[in-house]
Amino acid sequence: MVNKAYLKADYEATKHLVGLTLRQKELLEAWLYTGQTMGQIALRYGINRSTVSRTVNRAAEKIAKTAYWSHRQHTRTFSKSDCQN
C-alpha cells in the first residue's frame, strides 16, 4: 500500500525530474489531489479500477526511485581522494 502523504511530498519534490507518462501523471494527480478513490477515477476515465491502481503504483515506483537518487546525490559526502587531481 502506498503512503499517500509521502508519495505526495516525493512527487512535489521530483515532478520535473521523474519522467512520468501523460497517463501516469493524470491518474496519479487525480488520486493525490482530488480526494477521489481509484474506483471513482476509473469510472471517470472509463477504465478498470485495477488499471488505475497499476498505473498509480508504477508512477509511485518511478517517483520513489527518483526521490532516492535525488536525495542520495544531495547528501553525498566526498572523501579526500575525490578532491585530489
pLDDT the model gives residue 68: 82
What does pTM read for this prediction? Answer: 0.73
Which domains are assigned to the chain? Answer: 21-71 (1.10.10)
Cβ-Cβ contacts under 8 Å for 4 (sequence gap 6 or more):
32
pLDDT the model gives residue 12: 85
Q: Is the pLDDT of residue 6 over 60?
A: yes
Q: Kindly state the average pLDDT of the residues 6-19.
A: 84
pLDDT class of 79 with cuts at 50, 70, 90: low
Q: What is the pLDDT of residues 17-61, one digit of tens each?
A: 888 999 999 999 999 999 899 999 999 999 999 999 999 999 999
